[in-house]
């Protein structure tokens, strides 16, 4: 008997600023794949905003229509014999490329996905909706772990900026200072300080991590470095990166781009959560049924009070 065809409700960007919820056919699972029913997915205000506005720079797999999303958690409902997973596992899904009629970039915003078991990270059942934050936590871990000196200054107090500060503290580092120009986003700090950049006169930072995504800030940040200092670009930048050479030369600038997180980063964050060294509390501020995805994306991108919006996919596979 032929197995029934798989399909899912998915967030689809038909083209920039045209977002719908559509049922899409899924590619049949292979022996190493799992079928995962998604419980929650998060909306990224960095990469997904660029996809939504059409300003995403050329990127592998880019093309509309597309399914965005790389912050999903769900339950394995079918596990191939070579997948290494079991039915019933609660897992983090860092995206999927399983759609017959759309590009999977990054492919996690759907009610069901087909994904290789090797890409899935088991998560504790008790983590619930906070599991969607594992991707940003791993991004923060990746940015911090790659520097010889822990970040002393973080630029931006959105979810990623907050997680960077929390990761520094979880790793035993000194409390970093965080810059935030929006007064609405200066609250919520625990164990570190958040100020307006105009209040800071320091010019000897060893490591600065920028999560603003604003390439125009680079020259100003170089002026805040100690000699031999490092700037880590941990945001996603649509504009070309450039800087004045003489100040960078005088400081022997080290410039690092923190690329995509890897599995060890996810594991490190999961372990820090389990050990109580790291918390995701207070970072999810908005929730929406997946059926109202279009309005949820508008809120996520345009409401400064929205730190992290999640979509609830309950019942979407019925």
Residue 274 within any structural domain of the chain: no
Identify whether 208 is preceded by a cis peptide bond (ω within 30 of 0).
no
Distance of alpha carbon 265 from alpha carbon 271, whole angstroms = 10
Looking at the fold, whether 113 and 13 belong to one and the same domain comes out as: yes
Residue 56 within any structural domain of the chain: yes
Backbone φ and ψ for 52, nearest 5 degrees, come out as -65, -40
Mean pLDDT of the 55-73 span: 85
Looking at the fold, whether 242 and 303 belong to one and the same domain comes out as: no
CATH (domain of 86)? 3.90.180.10
Q: Which DSSP helix (H) or strand (E) runs through 76?
A: strand 72-79
Looking at the fold, whether 52 and 127 belong to one and the same domain comes out as: yes
Looking at the fold, whether 217 and 189 belong to one and the same domain comes out as: yes
Distance of alpha carbon 286 from alpha carbon 272, whole angstroms = 24
For the chain, the domain total comes to 2
CATH (domain of 204)? 3.40.50.720
Tell me what pLDDT residue 222 has: 98
Looking at the fold, whether 11 and 78 belong to one and the same domain comes out as: yes
Q: pLDDT per residue over 119-175, tens digit each?
A: 999 988 789 999 999 999 999 999 999 999 999 999 999 999 999 999 999 999 999
The domain of 44 spans: 7-134+281-312
Tell me what pLDDT residue 2 has: 41
Give percent of the chain with pLDDT exceeding 70: 97
Residue 140 within any structural domain of the chain: no
Looking at the fold, whether 238 and 170 belong to one and the same domain comes out as: yes
Residue 19 within any structural domain of the chain: yes
Looking at the fold, whether 308 and 190 belong to one and the same domain comes out as: no
Mean pLDDT of the 214-225 span: 96
Backbone φ and ψ for 58, nearest 5 degrees, come out as -50, 130
Torsion region of 291: left, alpha or beta (phi above 0 gives left; psi -120 to 50 gives alpha): alpha
DSSP string, 281-311: TT---EEEEGGGHHHHHHHHHH-TT-S-EEE
Tell me what pLDDT residue 36 has: 98
Looking at the fold, whether 210 and 112 belong to one and the same domain comes out as: no
Q: pTM above 0.85? A: yes
Looking at the fold, whether 101 and 31 belong to one and the same domain comes out as: yes
């Amino acid at each position: 008997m032929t197995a029934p065809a798989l399909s899912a409700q998915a967030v689809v960007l038909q083209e920039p600023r045209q977002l719908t919820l559509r049922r899409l056919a899924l590619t049949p699972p292979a022996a190493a794949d799992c079928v995962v029913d998604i419980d929650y997915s998060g909306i990224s205000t960095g990469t997904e905003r660029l996809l939504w506005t059409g300003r995403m720079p050329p990127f592998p797999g880019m093309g509309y229509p597309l399914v965005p999303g790389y912050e999903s958690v769900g339950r394995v409902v079918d596990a191939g014999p070579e997948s290494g997973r079991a039915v019933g596992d609660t897992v983090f899904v860092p995206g999927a490329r399983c759609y017959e009629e759309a590009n999977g970039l990054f492919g996690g915003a759907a009610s069901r996905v087909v994904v290789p078991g090797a890409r899935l990270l088991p998560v504790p059942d008790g983590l619930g909706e906070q599991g969607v934050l594992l991707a940003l936590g791993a991004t923060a871990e990746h940015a911090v772990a790659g520097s010889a000196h822990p970040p002393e200054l973080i630029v931006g107090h959105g979810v990623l900026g907050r997680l960077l500060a929390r990761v520094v503290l979880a790793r035993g580092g000194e409390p970093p200072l965080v810059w935030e120009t929006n007064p609405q986003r200066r609250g919520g700090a625990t164990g570190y300080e958040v100020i307006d950049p105009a209040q800071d006169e320091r010019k000897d930072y060893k490591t600065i991590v920028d999560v603003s995504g604003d390439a125009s800030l680079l020259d100003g940040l170089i002026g805040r470095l100690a000699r031999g200092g490092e700037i880590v670009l941990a945001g996603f930048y649509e504009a070309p990166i450039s800087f004045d050479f003489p100040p960078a030369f005088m400081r022997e600038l080290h410039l690092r781009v923190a690329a995509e997180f890897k599995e060890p980063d996810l594991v490190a964050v999961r372990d820090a959560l389990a050990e109580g060294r790291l918390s995701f509390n207070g970072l999810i501020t908005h929730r929406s049924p997946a059926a109202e995805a279009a309005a949820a994306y508008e809120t996520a991108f345009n409401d400064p009070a929205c730190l992290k919006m999640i979509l609830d996919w309950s019942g979407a596979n019925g």
